Amino acid sequence: MELKESVLNLDYSKVESEVTEFIRKSVSSGGIEGAVIGLSGGIDSSVVGALCVRALGPGRVVGLLLPASFTPNNDVEDAKQLVKDWGIRSYVVAIDPIASSLLKSAPELVDSRIAKANARARIRMTINYYFANMLNYIVAGTGDKSEDLIGYFTKYGDGGVDILPIAHLYKTQVRALGAHLGLAPHMVSKPSSPQLWPGHRPEYRKN
C-alpha cells in the first residue's frame, strides 16, 4: 500500500505542464505542423491525445481510429466521443482488408497468432505514418513505463513512433493523470486491452 501511494504521489498539474511543453518543443523544433495519434479508446492513447490537444490545440491534432473486425464497439465509441469532445479531425481506417491482403500474399509457414498480431500492430503504425507524412506531422506514441519495462510492445509497430510523451509514467500514474485531465471515470479504470486478436489481454510478450 505504501509503495502504491508513493508511486501515485505526483504533482499531476506539473506533469501535465512538463509533458505538454515537451510535445510543443518536439513539434516546433523540427518545423512540424502537428501530431497524429492512433486512438484505441484505451487509457494510454486517451491521455496522450488529451495532452496533444492541450499542447498544440485541436486544429493541429489528428486522431486515427484503426479498428479490426473484433475491436470492441465500446472502445470505438469511446474514441469517437473523445474526438467529438476535443474537436479534432479524425479518420477511421479499418485494418482488416490490409491484413487480409498481406496474409493472402505472403506464405503462411506456420499458423502463428503472434506473427499475425504483430502484423496488425505494424499495419496500424504504417497508417499513422502515412497520414503524418502527408500532413507534415509527427506520430505521438502511447507507450508507458510499465509496458517498456516488460518489453510489452511491438517493434516497428506501437514501438515505432516519433515521441513517447508518457514513457516515464507507470500505468497507475497514467490512470491518475487521466483523472486529472478530466477523462471519464470508466476510461480511467478501463482494463488494458491491446486487442491484436479477439479477446486479447496483456498476457503475452509481443516482440
Q: What is the pLDDT of residues 78-107, one digit of tens each?
A: 999 999 999 999 999 999 999 999 989 988
> Residues 19, 10: contact at Cβ < 8 Å?
no
Task: Please determine, for residue 2, whether its predicted confidence score (pLDDT) is greater than 50.
Answer: no
Q: Residue 64: beta bridge partners?
A: 38, 91
Each domain of the chain, given as residue ranges in start order, spans 2-183
% the chain with pLDDT above 90: 71
- CATH code linked to domain 2-183: 3.40.50.620
**pLDDT value of position 193:** 65
What is the distance between the alpha carbons of residues 82 and 86, in angstroms, rounded to a whole number? 6
Confidence of residue 131 (pLDDT cuts 50, 70, 90): very high
3-state helix, strand and coil shares in percent for the chain, rounded to the nearest 5: 55, 10, 40
Confidence of residue 207 (pLDDT cuts 50, 70, 90): very low
Model pLDDT for residues 140-174, shown as the tens digit of each residue: 999 999 888 877 788 888 889 999 999 999 999 99
Model pLDDT for residues 101-114, shown as the tens digit of each residue: 998 998 888 888 88
Model pLDDT for residues 182-200, shown as the tens digit of each residue: 999 999 998 876 666 566 5
**Residue among 56, 63, 57, 195 at smallest CA distance from 127:** 63
**pLDDT value of position 110:** 82
